[in-house]
Amino acid sequence: MKTKILLLLILISIPCCIFSTLNYLELFGEEPRRAVVAVEMVITGEWVVPRIHGWTYYNKPPLFNWVVAGLFIAFDSFDEWIVRVPSLLSLFLIAIINFFIVRKFLSKEIAIFSSLFFVTAGEIFFYGTIRSGEIDLFYSLLVYLQIVLMFLFHFRKQYLWMFILSYFFAALGALTKGLPSLSFQALTLLALAIYYKHIRLLISWKHFVGIAVFFTITGSYFYFYSQRGDVELYLIVII
């Protein structure tokens, strides 16, 4: 009983500690840049080509800015704390999803501690949550889903869903931070194929369906971008 009470207190105190400082510090580091891009999307109605003070912003794809801009509209406010909400929610979503995934293979206690260790890791708890208006925690959620779903559906031998869902989140990752998501996808699939001796899976029709999902999502965005801006320069910068 004492252990359960202690665990409950920990689970309550962690979000209280994190969200209590949400509006304590002004935006700094890369946070203002993420905020300004999102603000301009809302004000100008230009959601395809990211801009800062009217100048085209090439350094990052727009998915994180879309999420922040959507929250600006939902709350009908440009308050600074809103910029930090997506990443903080991503942090807790990773912990929750991780608990249920680990619980399928290991004990409940290990699943709980695994998620708690992640949320309270020093760099995340004392740095990432303070500067959560940056992309990293949000992007981590996308990469985590991309990789963990690959392993989960491979374990279940549901290969079509493995490719569709992993490439779906790889596409979202690419629209958040560019090329790294495709590298994670390729290296993880190669490692799975070699370890389980499923090399033929890489040239199966199911794999090509997953690839089609990736290029349909990313290709659609860059097609619309090409109608409004210099897509070649944009691709060179983010890749």
The answer to whether the CB of 85 falls within 8 A of the CB of 38 is: no
Query: What is the pTM for the complete model shown?
Result: 0.92
**Of 20, 8, 22, residue with least CA distance to 133:** 22
Domain residue limits at 146: 135-239
Q: Please say if the pLDDT value at position 3 is more than 70.
A: no
pLDDT value, residue 97: 94
pLDDT value, residue 75: 94
Least confident piece of the model among 65-74, 115-124, 162-171, 221-230: 115-124
Q: Please say if the pLDDT value at position 174 is more than 70.
A: yes
Within a domain: 76:
no
Mean model confidence pLDDT for the chain: 91
Report the distance separating Cα 124 and Cα 167, nearest Å.
26
Report the distance separating Cα 139 and Cα 159, nearest Å.
24
Mean pLDDT of 194-209: 93
pLDDT value, residue 20: 74
Within a domain: 99:
no
Query: What total number of domains does the chain contain?
Result: 1
User: Which pair of tokens denotes residue 127?
Assistant: 């740095």
Within a domain: 201:
yes
Tens digits of per-residue pLDDT, 77-111?
999 999 999 999 999 999 999 999 999 999 888 89
Within a domain: 109:
no
Within a domain: 10:
no
Within a domain: 146:
yes
The answer to whether the CB of 176 falls within 8 A of the CB of 134 is: no
Within a domain: 93:
no
Within a domain: 184:
yes
Under the banding of pLDDT at 50, 70 and 90, the label for residue 70 is very high
Under the banding of pLDDT at 50, 70 and 90, the label for residue 2 is low
pLDDT value, residue 154: 93
